[in-house]
């Protein structure tokens, strides 16, 4: 079983739609959860960083963590064409430890 | 806004040659990392560095790889004898090392080994 599983997509949605992106993980040691956005051939850009189970909101983005189910989600409200990118879930066991990434979900928002 | 920078953006080298990839982490950050991403694959951890020594490394980071903080601003990754399978995007990242754990990534260096 892979440590972090993420559907690579692609996922196509119309502009203005609510986007739901998800990851599952198997390692119970993971305590910190991140979402990065990556444009083609660019570096990952940190969008959300969470620790506890529950929701964290930042503008149009909401990160959700369910540690009991080992399941994390990122919701994007009112999606825009500029949101078209690959979204990487990532996690680690804490502190300054290495981050383990999912494969990334490619999102296309169609005008 | 402070950011991690990397040079060069693209490096082409022949198999067996040595390459040095350079990074300038965010000023005042104390933890530094190298990751790589082979085309179409996951971003993979290589090594982390703190207080002038390696704090963690992956099985990928073998004797062909080394890291160095040659001065107060640069952080380098050296590959001694490149192989075709070293072709990838190499990302440098940094964390502040003072209670905030987020890792911020640079734009990457695309390494092509021919």
pLDDT at B29: 93
> What's the CA gap between B23 and B92, in Å, rounded?
6
Tell me the pairing of strands B109-113 and B10-13.
Answer: parallel
* Alpha-carbon torsion (B106, A88, B19, B64), positive or negative: positive
Residues A45, B105: contact at Cβ < 8 Å?
yes
Q: What value does the mean pLDDT of chain A take?
A: 95
Give residue B73's region: left, alpha or beta (phi > 0; psi -120 to 50): alpha
How confident is the prediction along chain B (114 residues), in pLDDT tens digits per residue? Answer: 789 999 999 999 999 999 999 999 999 999 999 999 999 999 999 999 999 999 999 999 999 999 999 888 899 999 999 999 999 999 999 999 888 889 999 999 999 999
Report the gap between the CA of A29 and the closest CA in chain B (Å): 16
Note whether A95 contacts B101, CB cutoff 8 Å: yes
Q: What is the mean pLDDT of residues A41-57?
A: 91
A29 touches chain B (CB under 8 A): no
Burial (CB count <10 Å: 0-12, 13-18, 19+), residue A13: middle
Which of B30, B43, B55, B99 best probes binding to A when mutated, by most A CB atoms within 10 angstroms?
B43
What pLDDT is recorded for position A110?
A: 97
Q: Which residues of A22-54 are buried (b: 16+ CB within 10 A; e: fewer)?
A: bbbbeeeebbbbbbbbbeeebbbbbbbbbeeee
Q: How many CB atoms lie within 10 A of CB B56?
A: 15
Identify the residue among B8, B46, B105, B106 best suited for mutation to test binding to A, counting A beta carbons within 10 A and taking the highest.
Answer: B105
A2 in reach of chain B (CB within 8 A):
no
Distance CA B69, CA A76 (A): 39
Q: Please report the pLDDT score of residue B99 as a whole number.
A: 80
Candidates A32, A94, A96; nearest CB to B50: A96
User: What average pLDDT score do residues A89-99 get?
Assistant: 93
Determine contact, residues A13/A19, Cβ cutoff 8 Å.
yes
Q: Is the pLDDT of residue A1 over 80?
A: no
B11 and B21 Cβ atoms separated by less than 8 Å: yes
B95 neighbors B101 (Cβ within 8 angstroms): yes
Give the distance from residue A66's alpha carbon to the nearest chain B alpha carbon, in angstroms: 20
Angle at A71 between CA A54 and CA B89, to 5 degrees: 110
Report CB contact under 8 Å: B91, A98: no
Q: How confident is the model at residue A53 (pLDDT cuts 50, 70, 90)?
A: confident
Rounded Cα distance, A21 and A49, in Å: 15
Helix (DSSP H) and strand (DSSP E) numbers for chain A: 0, 11
- What band does A94 get if pLDDT is binned at 50, 70 and 90? confident
């Amino acid at each position: 079983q892979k440590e972090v599983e993420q559907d690579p997509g692609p996922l196509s949605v119309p502009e203005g739609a609510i986007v739901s992106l998800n990851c599952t993980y198997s390692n119970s040691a993971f305590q910190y959860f991140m979402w990065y956005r990556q444009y083609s051939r660019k570096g990952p850009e940190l969008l959300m960083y969470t620790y506890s189970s529950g929701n964290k909101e930042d503008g149009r983005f909401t990160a959700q963590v369910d540690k009991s189910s080992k399941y994390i989600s990122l919701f994007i409200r009112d999606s825009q064409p500029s949101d078209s990118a690959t979204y990487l879930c990532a996690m680690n066991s804490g502190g300054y430890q290495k981050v383990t990434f999912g494969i990334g979900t490619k999102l296309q928002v169609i005008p | 806004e402070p950011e991690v920078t990397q040079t060069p953006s693209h490096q082409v080298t022949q198999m067996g040659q040595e390459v040095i990839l350079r990074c300038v982490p965010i000023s005042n950050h104390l933890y530094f990392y190298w990751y790589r991403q082979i085309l179409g694959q996951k971003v993979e951890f290589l090594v982390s560095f703190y207080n002038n020594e390696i704090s963690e490394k992956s099985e990928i980071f073998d004797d062909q790889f080394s890291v160095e903080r040659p001065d107060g601003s640069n952080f380098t990754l050296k590959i001694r004898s490149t192989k075709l399978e070293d072709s990838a995007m190499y990302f440098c990242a940094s964390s502040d090392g003072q209670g905030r754990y987020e890792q911020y990534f640079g734009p990457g260096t695309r390494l092509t080994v021919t």
